[in-house]
Structure 1
Amino acid sequence: MAGPLRFRRSEKTWTRQSVREQLLQPLNQSFGARIEEPWFTIGDDRYDALRLEMDNGDFALFCFRPGRAYWLGNTETPEALWRTDKETFTEAPYAVSRWAQRELTARIEVTDPWLADYEYVTWFFLPVFGSKDGRDSTRRFFAEDAAGFPDASSEEGLAFYESLLQTGSLDAHRYTMASKLGTSPGYDLTRMRATMAEFNVAKLLTDAGLDFEPEVEQDSGHALDFAVDDDLVEVTRPEPPARRSHADHPVAAVKETGGAKRSDQLAKHPDSALFIDCTSFTETEWNAVAGEQPGVGHEPTVVFRARPTGRIEGYRYGKLPFDLDGSVEWV
């Protein structure tokens, strides 16, 4: 399975002729390929740059100077670049990274202007919007499923995550968080909705003014979803009852999903806070949960539902080790 889009760094000296022979030729044989000039210049005039466009819609960016070159693409990697190190947008030189991201953003402006209107979403998820696996599924998720919100438009879903991402609270964790959404080879709606539950919890923590670290590895072998100072947080998201083969009532869905976490990560980390995200539930389904307020046998637990307007309702069992007042309307 391919991962998020990253540069391959080559230490050899390239010329336009060697690019044609070692990069363009094998791609042309496989897909049909051509070299085109880039849309933007690099802010480092030592580099020459070009685009490789494939007939199947794949693309690659390549820039090079004596002794150093960077390749970025969602196509087959030519053999000449197989044994090269990879770098994220943050790890690559600033001028190279900025140029590549401008190229990728401009491509989205052409192919998906509805998405490019949300500049923070577009920027944050560039590593998957341009990846081999995630380019189609991630766009479809935002367009067709409103990023996991039922009874909402794609614009409403995008606006919700635009408001979170523009705070910058997840900038330092861009690859960690974005890659969770876009590295599945198929359209895995359940997994993508579960991923956005972590973004929803990040919004709760951000709105509460809390500092946090996502994807925290533990000696137990588990990686819990967040650490807020020394306090751990695990997140889960029940599928709506209509999509479940059993536990077809919203209250049963909450109990079953929370119980699964209790016997897994929480068994090894019993002091962790559990967040159960019911954002996939309709208004009627959520009202049934909020009315009964089922527990799952673990404390502290927060059960909540987010709406695209930014309103988040929830209830809790046990005392949280941090304050969420101001980010949740307790019911």
Structure 2
Amino acid sequence: MAGPLRFRRSHEHWTPERVHDEIYQPLDANLGAETDSAWFAPPDDYEARRFAMDNGDTALFCWSDGGGDAYWLGNTETPETLWRTEKYTFDETTYPIARWAQRELLAQLAVEDPWLAEYDHVSWFFLPVFFSKDGRDSTRNFFREHAAGFPDAAREDGLAFYEAFLSTGVLDDYRYTMASKLGTSAGVDLTRMQATMGEFNVAKLLADAGHDFEPEVELGSGHALDFQVDDVLVEVTRPQPPRRRTVNSPIAAVKASGDAKTRDQIAVHGNAVLFVDCTSFPDDEWYRIRGERPDVGHEPAVVFRTRPSGHTEGYVKGRLPLDVGRVLEQPA
């Protein structure tokens, strides 16, 4: 399974003739391809080509007129001449090149999925997976058919929620880290994708409470916990309603999810805060959880549910070292 979309950079000399012979012709021979000028002008002193394959794959290539500097970006097979080149994210590439390539892809997204392109920040943030080789259909399907993880909401409401959050820019520096969590598999793994959006929900909760944080913190234990807030570690779990598990009640589902985390990462880092995102539960099951306030096998813990409106409510177990009370409604 290929990962999120990244550039390949070549330091060799390129000409239009070499692009035709070593990039276009192999693509056409293997997949069937058309080549044309880029939709947008590349940076000064660069030439560019766009490649469209018969199977729906896309690739971009631009090279410096002065020679010795070229960039390939595609969700298709890489031509052999570029196999040994290094890979770079959008953030690791020079800004003019990254800006040009993203304009190209965002314009293509507007043609292919105009409903998604209406949400500028969602489109930009998840662009590395929306155009990944294996995950471009599944990730777009997740936002289109599953309201970005809200189980009983309209697509527009789910997208608007994450559009508003991502527009704050608090996750911009961690774009590849967070976007890649959505996955690049060909099929829609709803449980895993919803779990990913649970991490976005916790990030929003932390940001709304005024906390700075770093996602996916590598620790000396060999584990990577979901967030670090100053010296406080945070791990996130998102239980699924009973119909998707072997357990037979929402209370049991919450406890089982917390127990799984307690036996894994939190077993090593017992002082971490566990956030249990119950956003996947419908109203009746959430009201039962909220009413009974079950233990989740670890303290401190925050058990919460977020709605597309931005309303978040829940309860706290144990002494919480993070102030989230003012953004978390805690019903009596």
Task: State the TM-score, normalizing by the size of structure 1.
Answer: 0.98
Q: Which amino acid aligns with 2:151?
A: P
Task: Identify the residue that residue 48 of structure 1 maps to in structure 2.
Answer: 47
Aligned to 1:87: 88
| Residues 115-164 of structure 1: CA deviation (Å, up to 9, x unaligned) | 01110000100111111122101110001111111210110100110111
1:289-308 correspondence to structure 2 within 5 Å? 289-308=289-308
**Matched residue type, 2:54:** D
Residues 255-304 of structure 1, C-alpha deviations (whole Å, 9 max, x = no match): 00001111111110000000011100000110010011100221100011
Which ranges of structure 2 fall in alignment gaps of 5 or more residues? Answer: none
Letter in 2 for 1:156: D
Amino acid at match of 1:172: D
Q: Which moved more, 1:146-155 or 1:180-189?
A: 180-189
Aligned residues: 329
CA contact (8 A) 1:135 1:182 kept: no
* Residues 254-269 of structure 1 aligned to structure 2 (within 5 Å): 254-269=254-269
State the SS of the aligned residue for 2:41.
Answer: coil
User: Residue 233 of structure 2 corresponds to which residue in structure 1?
Assistant: 232
Contact map agreement 2:136 2:184 (CA 8 A) in 1: no
TM-score normalised over the length of structure 2: 0.98
Structure 1 residues 23-34: aligned runs within 5 Å = 23-34=23-34
| Mapping for residues 76-225 of structure 1, pairs under 5 Å | 76-225=77-226
Partner of 1:59: 58
Could you tell me how far 1:326 is from its partner in structure 2?
2.4
Partner AA of 2:63 in structure 1: F
Aligned residue for 2:185, secondary structure, equals: coil
What one-letter code is carried by the residue in structure 2 that aligns with 1:222? H
Shift of 1:169: 0.4
1:319 CA displacement: 1.4
SS in 2 for 1:90: coil
Give CA-to-partner distance per residue, 1:83-133, whole Å, 9 cap, x none.
Answer: 000111111111110000000000011111100111000010011111112
1-structure distance, mates of 2:223, 2:26:
42
Give the letter aligned to residue 26 of structure 1: P
1:186 deviates by 2.0
* 3-state SS in 1 of match to 2:327: coil
For 1:324 and 1:296, locate their aligned partners in 2 and report how far apart those are by CA, in whole Å: 19
What is the CA deviation profile of residues 210-248 of structure 1, one whole-angstrom value per residue up to 9, with x for unaligned ones? Answer: 10000001111110000001100000001111211x112
Structure 2 counterpart of 1:60, one-letter code: A
- Deviation at residue 26 of structure 1 after TM alignment: 1.2
Gap regions ≥5 residues in structure 1: none
Instruction: Tell me, in whole angstroms, the C-alpha distance in 2 between the residues paired with 1:203 and 1:327.
Output: 10
Distance apart, 1:34 and its partner CA: 1.4
CA distance in 1, matches of 2:140, 2:27: 26
Answer yes or no: is the 8 Å Cα contact 1:13–1:67 preserved in 2: yes
Amino acid in structure 2 at the alignment position of 1:171: D
Q: Provide the rounded CA distance (Å) in 1 between the counterparts of 2:297 and 2:244.
A: 24
Aligned residue number for residue 75 of structure 1: 76
Deviates more, 1:316-325 or 1:196-205: 316-325
What SS class does the counterpart of residue 308 from structure 1 fall into? coil
